[in-house]
Structure 1
Amino acid sequence: MRNSTPVEQSIDNLAHRYLDGRRGSRLQAGLTEFVVFGLKQAWACVFGAALLAVIIAVRLWYPDNAALARNDFLTLAAVLIQVLMISFRLETLRELRVILLFHVVGTVMELFKTDVGSWAYEAEGLLRIGAVPLFSGFMYAAVGSYMVRVFRLFDLRFDRYPRRWITALVAGAIYVNFFSHHFIVDLRWVLLAAVVLVYGRCVMHFRVFRRRFRMPILVSFLLVALFIWFAENIGTWSRAWLYPNQLNGWQAVSIDKLLAWFLLMIISVVLVAWVYKPEPLGAEAAQTPGDAQIRPGRSDMGVTTPSE
């Protein structure tokens, strides 16, 4: 893996020690790929998972009469998580730049959205800007952390990746629409069509352990957006923030928010592309006959790939 941290390298090393020196069946190799995929995905989510665990713990056990407000505790916990990630070399300084940019972009959006009443936080604590507690920016940073880590954990490569200046224009329009739709016509469906047009032909290649797989990049956007939507339901259940329809009792976040998160993925990808330039699958890798194809509704378990 490129620029891997010690923990990330240890995942591959464990898988190698398990398989090296064994003939191994296709089932055994497939199960190893599946386990390594799960470990890498879990590791990519470590920042967001840690923050979400703290949010749940605060909801369940934080005392109501504590001198430190819940929101301030969450902010300090988020800062501590970020410091530990860097101190123990679980995250690179290169990635930290993108994560901080996510923090700024998210906080600006939070300031506007809370002002127009899209959602709300409890009015408590000192570590806040207006109605926005500072821990909220770390939730966007968690998305950034996942994106940059996935990029190198799975050694992502792309076929027919669109020109970055075009993707930047689309991402900029999406970001502006998050603000402007409160005053003028909402263009999210037009922007969705633009995303499909720009990224529709792009295929993402990713290596799990010994095998490379590929899937349409739009499918990957949707899958990540779906998991963020699940996390958002947990966050609102924990009352870290609430939508207007949840003020009188929690209910699931509208599935309509899935589109918003899907569009946010485009902004995320463009920001990450500033650090990790999307590269095509090399000529040698592109000629590998064993690339597995992941298609919606179709399993790739029957595809044979050569060991490296």
Structure 2
Amino acid sequence: MIPLKPFIQLLHFGYHQAMSCIFPVAIFGTLALSSMVEIPFVYRYDAVLIILLTVQYLMYRSGLETWDEIKVICIFHLIGLLLEIYKVSMGSWSYPEPGLTKVLGVPLYSGFMYASVASFMCQIWRRLKMDMTGWPGLASAGILGGAIYLNFFTHHFIPDFRWLLTALVFVVFWRTWIIYRVRSVTYRMPLSLAFIIVGFFIWLAENVATFFNAWKYPDQQQAWHWVSFGKISSWFLLVIISVIIVAQLKHVKAGMGK
């Protein structure tokens, strides 16, 4: 006889994961539908932005997202938009369709794709009552996060240090574990492993996004194909920035509540 408790725990864990993915699903669902159904009187990129703003408003009004989480999402939207503008200007990828809400060739909705990572982080942190042990502190984590973000810009002019930075991640966070709770049971896993898992699933989502023309890499202009497996390393590093910001904000808020 199959024990029911592990199965029930898995169902609860899956439910919270799914609820935490509402905003990312909204993004990719909107991209998919808008690529198949022509929207009258408005450019596709503009329509996507309007829909995503509406989704964010409804999530806030319904209580699915808190005001603090909205503020974190806005920070990530800005961080992502700045990176997108720079990357498009360097020819890393492009947004070929027209739109009134494009800034320097980048549609404003693109920042939401980065913000969706923050939305997931905030949601899952709250739903699974997450905490961390062995957090390296603001100095180590902040400097590493800043160096990772800076490397996304500088590798166009100087050597790419992503693999060195990846190694430093395992050094800085080797004692850091995620503590999470499903019903009355507490679990834990190494934070670095969580980085890898989330980075892999974002890479899968990136393939979905490029398939529905959310953006295009230079080698996808003629025909779509899978995004390079090596891109997982980029998402791995981006997830680290997300976790550092969210975790530090949670630590600050917890300290203020004492």
Higher helix share: 2
Q: Give TM-score, length-normalised by structure 2.
A: 0.95
Assess, with a 3 A threshold, how the Cα gap between structure 1 residues 260 and 214 changes in structure 2: closer, same or farther: same
Assess, with a 3 A threshold, how the Cα gap between structure 1 residues 105 and 94 changes in structure 2: closer, same or farther: same
Tell me, in whole angstroms, the C-alpha distance in 2 between the residues paired with 1:41 and 1:77.
23
- What amino acid is aligned across from residue 185 of structure 1 in structure 2? P
Tell me, in whole angstroms, the C-alpha distance in 2 between the residues paired with 1:125 and 1:50.
20
1:26 deviates by: 8.0
Indicate whether 1:248 and 2:222 are aligned. yes
1:278 deviates by: 8.5
The 8 Å contact of residues 158 and 202 in structure 1, kept in 2 or not, is answered as yes
- What amino acid is aligned across from residue 96 of structure 1 in structure 2? I
Deviation string for 1:1-59 (max 9, x for gaps)? xxxxxxxxxxxxxxxxxxxxxxxx98222111110000000011111111111111111
Alignment match, 2:85: 111
CA RMSD of aligned residues (A): 1.5
- What amino acid is aligned across from residue 85 of structure 2 in structure 1? L
Alignment match, 1:206: 180
- Which of 100, 124, 127 aligns to 1:126? It is 100
The 8 Å contact of residues 138 and 248 in structure 2, kept in 1 or not, is answered as no
Query: Percent sequence identity over matched residues?
Result: 38
Indicate whether 1:43 and 2:27 are aligned. no
- What amino acid is aligned across from residue 83 of structure 2 in structure 1? M
Alignment match, 1:55: 31
Unaligned runs of 5+ in 1: 1-24, 280-308
Tell me, in whole angstroms, the C-alpha distance in 2 between the residues paired with 1:214 and 1:274.
19
SS of aligned partner of 1:254: coil
Q: Give TM-score, length-normalised by structure 1.
A: 0.80
Indicate whether 1:139 and 2:118 are aligned. no
The 8 Å contact of residues 161 and 278 in structure 1, kept in 2 or not, is answered as no
Tell me, in whole angstroms, the C-alpha distance in 1 between the residues paired with 2:63 and 2:175.
36
Alignment match, 1:148: 122
Alignment match, 1:68: 42
1:125 deviates by: 1.0
- Which of 195, 198, 201 aligns to 1:221? It is 195
SS of aligned partner of 1:276: helix
Higher mean Cα deviation, 229-238 or 266-275? 266-275
Alignment match, 1:164: 138
Alignment match, 2:256: none
CA radius of gyration, larger in? 1
1:90 deviates by: 1.0
The list of structure 1 runs, each at least 4 consecutive aligned residues, that deviate by more than 2 angstroms after superposition, is none
Tell me, in whole angstroms, the C-alpha distance in 1 between the residues paired with 2:62 and 2:71.
17
Tell me, in whole angstroms, the C-alpha distance in 2 between the residues paired with 1:92 and 1:130.
31
Assess, with a 3 A threshold, how the Cα gap between structure 1 residues 77 and 252 changes in structure 2: closer, same or farther: same
SS of aligned partner of 1:201: coil
Unaligned runs of 5+ in 2: 254-258
Aligned length: 253
Deviation string for 1:193-240 (max 9, x for gaps)? 111100112111111112111111111111111110111000000011
Alignment of 1:207-286 (within 5 A): 207-277=181-251
